Amino acid sequence: MAKAKSQRSLSKWSKQDWGYVSKGDEKKPKKKRGRYLPKSVRSSMTAAEKAAENRKKRKAGGVGSRAKYSSKVRKAVRRAG
């Protein structure tokens, strides 16, 4: 049986190379980690954009907290997925 469109999209999305914007964030406590994005989005961001996204995420708090993506990052993540 073929996968539904939503399942194909999820499979494609999960096969991407996901990681933290800043090097070494994997080793930090979850409250102090920055954004977690696909490699294609991370590589397209400037240093200033990365810093701004990390500040926004860290300000939002710890585990389970949500910080909204900037419009540029939101569009890039959707295109990547």
Q: DSSP alpha helices (H): ranges in the chain?
A: 5-14, 39-44, 47-60, 71-80
Residue numbers of the domain that contains 56: 17-80
Residues 19, 34: Cα–Cα separation, whole Å: 10
Residue 23 counted as domain residue: yes
Q: Is residue 54 part of a domain?
A: yes
Give a yes or no: residue 49 inside a domain: yes
Structural domains of the chain, count = 1
Q: Does 9 fall in a domain?
A: no
pLDDT digits (tens, 9 = 90+) for 4-63: 877 877 788 788 899 999 989 889 888 888 889 999 999 999 999 999 999 998 888 767
pTM for this predicted structure = 0.74
Structure confidence by residue, pLDDT tens digits, 54-63 = 999 888 876 7
Residue 4 lies in a domain: no
Does residue 33 or residue 64 have the better pLDDT?
33
Q: Are 13 and 36 in contact (CB under 8 A)?
A: no
Q: 35 with 18: CB under 8 angstroms? A: no
